[in-house]
A and B are shown apart, each in its own frame.
Chain A
Amino acid sequence: MTPFAALVWKEWRGERRSIATLAGAAALLPLLGLLGAREFAGRFGLQRYAYDGGTATIVAQAALLAVALSLGAELLPSESRRGSIALLRRLPCGLLRPFLAKFMLLIVASLATALVAWASACAAVRATGGAWFPPLDFGVSLLRGAPNLLLIVVVGLLAFMASAWIGRATLALPVALLAVALALTPFWLARDDDPLLASVSTLVPLLWGAALLAPCVGALSFVLGRRRGGGEWRSFAIGGAAVGALALPAGAWRSERAAEWNRVDPPLDSFRVTALRQPGVLAAGGRYVYLTAHHQFGDLVIRDAPRWVLDEFMQFPTCGRYSDGPPHVLQVDLADGSWRDVGGPGSLLWLPTRFAPLEAVPYVGIRSCPEAEHDRAGWRALLDANDGREVARAPDVDERNAIEGRAEWDELARSEHVAYLGGARRVWFEREEWWTTDPDGGSRRLPDSAMSRTAHWWWRGSQSRGVMVQGRRDGPEEEEVEIYDFARERRFRWSDASANPSVRKGKWIVERWDASPPSGRRRFRWELYDPERAVSLPAPAEVADHKLLWIDDEGAAIGGPWGAHDQSLVTLECFDPESGVRSPIALPARLEALAGGVVAFDVVARTRLGAPIVRLVLRGRDGGKVERYARWDARRRELRVAEEASAKELPLVGCPDEESLLVIEQGRRLVRLRFGSDAREVVFPRHDAASGAPR
């Protein structure tokens, strides 16, 4: 027998009665309890536990906790109480191995008892008519209960640790909790500044840390505290010092982090523009851009390993990473790159639900980030986009808050109901009426529809020169649809609500899914429609399965074959939908050199500009995808691509004028690119620009 084996044997021999008693209780109590629950189900509402397979897990965890607390808290103090610590001190092996033997016995006894309790509970559930075993749910969800189990393990280990400091087992748990409370004080004090501190996700790494460190601190306290004739006080002093030495640097780190947490500093590498659907908006005056930004902290040690535990807890939906700081709404002056934190920590851009990308806004809405609110009430505010002045602020108490009832919000929300028709012409829906701009710059109301005023409407975005109005009279079955053709300036009845016609000067284009014989594979094809005669005509075969990007004022279509999943290259073409005559559109030579070709294209949105912005997805030479933006020059019939950028993905913020656009580069810079040019200007952050404190 080795010395360690002798020590383990001694522990087992000394504690076997206690362990047997605990195991016996773990075996009998679940049986009695569940049978009792069945018997007295109606009286105490316990019936569900008698039949629930999950009860076994709860019982096993309770048994684990009971053993950990009763046995774990007794193993070390008993040595001092009965004086046998003197015998241990005289052993040639020192005190570390006796400690490890006790720890090993505690672990084995706890697990064994928990297993007995689990098996007993399974049997009890079976006896009451349930399944033999609780349903096992393999995969990540199996670990959902891990935090509870971890908490139980940590409580037991902390009690074991604290028992090295005291002579009474009964005081182990209170002393452990007191030590933990003191150790967590710095964390607790900083909780308001760092949302991470107040979240369960912080608790989990802390529990892991405690689970690993508690036995170490216990060993240190016991071995160093007792080896030279020391008693509980010396162990307590050493253990307390160890806890302090572990907690204070961690607390200091967290406090420093909490101080950093709310700061936003664009020149830092950790600065990020938050990847929202709309990362920023351009003020109507064209001078300011409003961005949502945050710090991306890279110093969190535990990042991805415990994701299975952390996933369901703390993650800023705005930032996507639990190591991100709270979002701030920044006002950036395009003139000089200066910026101001107009929202403060925990604020987000708040825009109407169907906000049209690239729209310039007269007002900008901001709101508190739910993840940063803690127990404080949320809020919403409306700022004048042209100067950042706060127009209104209201608590976020319900779905329809006070802000959304204001005229300023209506003006902002108007962007939801605006369609651009090309040539700077637009149509919008306001107070249940349709309005449009005239070529001379004025506005006029469209003639009343014959349909119900409850009609809703949409348009075919980029390629349409018309507005589809869909109304409902009495029931869901009776829908009627009409199209307002701006080329002809009149309404047409439309009978097929499932197909969306693209209105143009000549014949309309109607797109539908079409089964292609003999394979039956569905393809997206289009056909022509004569609105005057209300007849459909086949499209020219050369272009019938083209994807339409848009239709220009003269009725010419721009588009190309649909991209494929294998990222095969496509060619952009300008074509006549009625004759099928096509002419390819060339990319700039510089872009051709950069990328292998276009694999996909899309229209980002038709804006107040004369022509829409086209997003080109290119196949990069390295195999990845490269994103670039372009505008169609109708006069020259060519694409004017904004060529120069240092990132593959370029979230679009807005177009301050006809010739340029603002994009987010590398997730942290606001860059102005120019169409038809390789010019590139970093607008924000600039090192020479002034910064502003939160409001």
Chain B
Amino acid sequence: MNPTAPVFAARGLSMRFGKRRVLDGLDLELAPGQVTALLGENGAGKSTLIKLALGVLKAQRGTLTVAGCCPLKQSGLVRQRVGFVPDVPDAYPWMTARELFRFLAPHWPSWDAALAESLLESLCVPTATPFKSMSRGEGMKAMLVAALAPRPSLLLLDEPFAGLDPLVREEVLRSVIGELRSDPNGGERTVLVATHDLDVVARIADRVAILAHGKIAQHGAVGEVLGAKSLDDGNGAGDGSNALLDDGAGVGAATFKLRDVLAATRSTETAVR
């Protein structure tokens, strides 16, 4: 795989569920080593795009290349190269984190057991507690470890922080921020985070893509798109400081900006129709 080639490239991607069009000619490219936040309203198609990337859904039109492979024709290869964290832990309720890893590890030749162990420790994931007894945050952290252990070149996060209470979310965020950009093979990991949480965007993302009405309405650096300053000017791992959080007005401004973008997209759409 060409190191400069986009890890994720969607062109003209269209997807509909029945009469409802979710993606409508979506174009998006993710450069290696960047953390991109996929912003959009509920039902905008963020999860659909991620599922298309994993090859568990099939687009009606368009092409999609993930980690250099077609998710449909080379789904096994894509899934070996891509890590995924769902919005809700979907491991078997009776499984403990270790049992989950025992189950998953044989499927990923690149599974790094030592990394999984160190992540378990660093993220304070309970190893003997079954998922049904874990808190939501613990479950998410376990799923994150399971996604990171194979050292994927692309990590897809599908609203992993939604539904967490602020304290847990803060804990999870702090613990994962450092891991997101950890080096898979000496290079940097590409991350796509689907969310509608501007705080998450501000804390972990370099770039942001706004998905509205089936298309990417805007895509660029966080500051450019949302008019706010990113953690480290879009170039690297966060250092824990957060300008947006420090400045509540910044979050509000970004929210307004996002609303404006969505409204502009909607009006453009209406005009086109």
Contact = CB atoms under 8 A, between A and B. Distances in A.
A interacts with B: yes
Interface of A: 1-3, 5-7, 9-10, 13-14, 82-84, 86-87, 89-94, 227-229
Contacts of A13: 94-95, 99
Interface string B72-106: 00011101100010101011111100010011111
A82 B88 CA distance: 12
A91 B107 CA distance: 7
A84 B58 contact: no
Contacts of A227: 56
A82 B90 CA distance: 8
Tell me which of A5, A89, A93, A94 has the highest count of chain B C-beta atoms within 10 A of its own C-beta: A89
A229 to B, nearest CB: 5
A93 B78 CA distance: 11
Contacts of B92: 10, 14, 82, 84, 87
A135 B106 CA distance: 47
B79 A92 contact: yes
B76 A82 contact: no
Contacts of B88: 83
A14 B76 CA distance: 25
Contacts of B99: 13
A8 to B, nearest CB: 11
Given A82-B93, A83-B90, A229-B56, A92 B103 contact: no
Contacts of B58: 228
Given A13-B99, A84-B90, A87-B90, A92 B56 contact: no
A227 B80 CA distance: 17
A521 B95 CA distance: 85
B149 to A, nearest CB: 14
Nearest to A227: B56
Nearest to B99: A13
8 contacts: A1-B105, A6-B103, A84-B91, A89-B56, A90-B84, A94-B75, A228-B56, A229-B51
Nearest to B100: A87
Contact of B86 (A2, A86, A93): A86
B106 A6 contact: yes
A6 B102 contact: yes
A93 B76 contact: yes
Given A3-B106, A6-B106, A90 B57 contact: no
Contacts of B84: 90
Contacts of A84: 90-92
Given A6-B107, A84-B91, A90 B102 contact: no
A3 B57 contact: no
Interface residues of B, number: 27
Nearest to A2: B106
A144 B51 CA distance: 53
B191 interface: no
7 A-B pairs with least C-beta separation: A92-B76, A92-B79, A6-B106, A89-B56, A86-B90, A3-B106, A1-B106
B57 A228 contact: yes
A5 B102 CA distance: 11
A93 B107 contact: yes
Nearest to A228: B58
A89 B90 CA distance: 11
Contact of B106 (A5, A82, A86): A5
A572 to B, nearest CB: 83
Contacts of A82: 92-93
B54 interface: yes
A10 B103 contact: yes
Nearest to B57: A229
A230 to B, nearest CB: 10
Given A83-B90, A229-B51, A9 B56 contact: no
A467 B259 CA distance: 122
Nearest to A17: B94
Interface in B36-91: 51, 54, 56-58, 75-77, 79-80, 84, 86, 88, 90-91
B106 A90 contact: no
A76 to B, nearest CB: 14
Given A10-B103, A83-B90, A90-B79, 10 more contacts: A2-B106, A6-B103, A6-B105, A14-B94, A87-B91, A90-B54, A91-B104, A91-B107, A92-B76, A229-B57
